[in-house]
Amino acid sequence: MGNEFEVRGEIEVDATPDEVWEAIASGPQLDAWFMGRTEVNGREGGAARMTLPGWTSETTVTVWDPPNHLVTETPKGEDGGFMAFEYVVEGPEGGSTVVRFVRSGFLAGDDREAEYDALKQGDPAYWFKLGEYLTYFRGRRATPVTAYGPQVEPDRAWSVIKGGLGLPGEVAEGDAVRSDLDGIGPIEGVVAYVSPEFLGVRTSDAIHGSSTASVTPWWSATTSSPMWIRMRRSGPGSPGSSGRSLEPRQTRSARKEAVMTDGINTVTSSDGTTIAFDRLGDGPPVILVCGGSTDRMANAGLAGQLSSDFTVLNYDRRGRGDSGDTPPYAIEREVEDIDAVIGPAGGSAALYGTSSGAALALDAAAAGLAVTKLAMWEPPYILDENARPPADQVEQYERMIAEGRRGDAVEYFMGKVVGLPPEFIAGARQAPFWAATEAIAHTLAYDARIMGDYSLPTELASSVTAPTLVIAGGASPPFLRESAEALADVLPKGETRTLEGQDHNVAPEAIAPVLKEFFA
C-alpha cells in the first residue's frame, strides 16, 4: 500500500529566468542554497547527483527546457515508491520572475504519513533560501560543509538559539539580530524567516538558519554567499563514562592465511566467520576500517590513493558486503576480525579507521594486536554528556530489525544519530542506494555498541602504545575537533591534526597525503 502525494510552492524573485535557471540547474549554484554537493548533467536523460556524508542520491533529468522547465525523477523502488521534482520558471523580460515548485510521487513506506509531513515542513525552508539567494547573493558560489550536533531537546535548542542571537521570546520577521557565534563570527542582521521548526537570519553577506527538527547539516559558504545552520533534536544521552574496556590479548591468534574465491580475498576469523577484503599496491601494510552503515566500498577511493605507497587491505566488517556474520555479536569478535586480516598483511600492520570504525580501530590497538601505527578520522566521541545520541540506540535497532523494519532502523540512524534533514531522508527512501543500506541495517547496532555512550574512552586510550594520529576536519563541527584533541592528549603517543576545508565526509585526496606521511 502507499499514497500518491504532491507538495507545491511558489516564489517571486527580482531575477531573470536565466539567472533562476543557473541557480536551480547548475551544481555550483545549487550548492550555494540547497544541500551537499550537486552535479547536474544538463540534458534529458542526464543524471543529477547530490552527495551528503556517506550518501549519494541520484535522479534522472526527464525534462530539460532552459530556462523555463526542469524535471528530475528518482528511479522507482520495488514497492513502487519514487519522487519527482519540477521547477517552472516564468517571467517577462525586465520584470520579476515566478518560480513554481512541485515535488510529487508515491510514498510506499509504513511511515509515509510522517514522510509527507516532513516534506511539507522542510520544502518551504529551501524555497525561502532559493529566494534569498536570488535576491541578495545570486551568481555567487559556496563550499558545502556538513556538521553534526549537538543533540538537545527542542525547548532548550530554541532557548539557546534565541539567546545567542539576542532575540526575544516571541520572534517575528524583521527582528534585529546581533551576536558573535563561535566559528561564525560577528552577526548583525534581521530575522527573515520564521516557522515552528525553522529560523532564518539574513546579514549583509550570508543567510544563517536554525531548526529544531532532527537535523544537523550546515553549509558554510564562501565570502558573501548563503550559509544555513540547523540543529538536530533528540533526548539527552546518558551521563558518565561508558565503563567499557576490552581485555588486552595476552597472545595473538595464529596467523591467518588468505584465500581467493571468485576473485575476492578472504580470511577466516577466530569464530569461523569469513572476512572479505581487497588487496591493492605494494609496500608496508595498511588496513582500512570503515564506519557505520557502510561497507569497504566507502574506503575504496582512499585505498586507491594509498596503494602507490602501501599494501592496502580494505576489508568488509562482519555483516557487510562480502563478509559473513556469526551471532551473537560482540566487539571482541570484530577485534578478532582485524587480527585475522593482519595475518595476510604479514603479521603486523598500520590501522586507519573512520568515524565509528576509528573507535573500533582504537579497540583493536588497545587489545594488544600487532598494530604498528594507528590513524583515526573523527571518532565521534562527544565530551558534552547532554549532547549525545539516544542512550537506547542498540535496543531500538535490534527491535526494529527483529520486526523486519530495516528501513525504519536506517531512518532512525540517519535522523536521530547522524541528523540528516527529514526531507532528505524521505527522498533517500526512494533512492537506488536505499536497498543496499537496508541490507546492512542490522550492523547499526554493532556500531552503537562500539560507541557505547559516546564518552571519551580515556582508560582504553591510555593503554594504546602505538603511535597514533587523530585527525579532524576544519569544516566539521567544533565538538569533533575538541574530542580529537582530548583523545590525543590521553594517548601515550598521540598527536592531532586538522584538515582545513574538510568535513566528516573527508575527500580521499585530502587525507591520503597526511596518512602517507604518518605511516611512512
pTM of the model: 0.63
pLDDT at 310: 97
**The C-alpha cell that represents 509 in the structure block:** 585526496
The answer on pLDDT for 379 being more than 50 is: yes
Nearest to 281 by CA among 336, 349, 335: 349
Tens-digit pLDDT profile for residues 176-197: 988 876 666 677 888 888 887 7
pLDDT at 156: 72
CB 67 within 8 A of CB 17: yes
Q: How many CA atoms, within 13 angstroms, populate the side-chain half-sphere of residue 254?
A: 3
pLDDT at 54: 57
CB 35 within 8 A of CB 227: no
Query: Hey, which residues does 9 pair with through a beta bridge?
Result: 101
pLDDT at 257: 58
246-256 exposure pattern, b = at least 16 Cβ within 10 A, e = fewer? beebeebeeeb
Tens-digit pLDDT profile for residues 81-109: 889 999 999 987 667 899 999 999 998 87
Tens-digit pLDDT profile for residues 477-517: 899 999 999 999 999 999 999 999 998 889 999 999 999 99
Residues ≥6 apart with Cβ < 8 Å to 406: 400, 438, 439, 441, 442
Give the fold, CATH level 3, of 259-384+453-519.
Rossmann fold (3.40.50)
pLDDT at 211: 60
In this structure, are strands 97-107 and 468-473 parallel, antiparallel, or unpaired? unpaired
The answer on pLDDT for 131 being more than 70 is: yes
- Extents of the domains making up the chain: 3-137, 259-384+453-519, 390-445
Tens-digit pLDDT profile for residues 150-173: 556 677 777 777 887 888 778 888
Pick the CATH number of 3-137 from 3.30.530.20, 3.40.47.10, 3.30.70.20, 3.40.50.720: 3.30.530.20
332-362 exposure pattern, b = at least 16 Cβ within 10 A, e = fewer? ebbbbbbbbbbbbbeeebbbbbbbbbbbbbb
Tens-digit pLDDT profile for residues 196-255: 778 888 888 777 666 654 333 333 232 223 333 333 222 222 223 333 445 444 434 445
pLDDT at 490: 97
Residues ≥6 apart with Cβ < 8 Å to 267: 256, 257, 258, 259, 274, 275, 277, 340, 341, 343, 344
CA distances from 65 to 42, 70, 72, 238 (A): 10, 6, 12, 53
What CA–CA distance (Å, rounded) separates 216 from 417?
A: 10
What CA–CA distance (Å, rounded) separates 144 from 33?
A: 9
If you average pLDDT over every residue of the chain, what do you get? 83
Q: pLDDT higher for 409 or 420?
A: 409
Please report, rounded to a whole number, the percentage of residues in the chain having pLDDT higher than 70.
84
Give the pLDDT band of residue 472 (cuts 50, 70, 90).
very high
pLDDT at 195: 82
Q: CA 119, 124, 127 angle in degrees (round to 5)?
A: 120
CB 146 within 8 A of CB 232: no
Tens-digit pLDDT profile for residues 287-341: 999 999 899 988 999 999 999 999 999 999 999 999 999 999 999 999 999 999 9
Sheet holding 494-499, edge to edge: 259-261, 264-268, 274-280, 311-315, 285-289, 349-354, 371-377, 468-473, 494-499
Ramachandran angles phi, psi of 384, nearest 5°: -80, 110
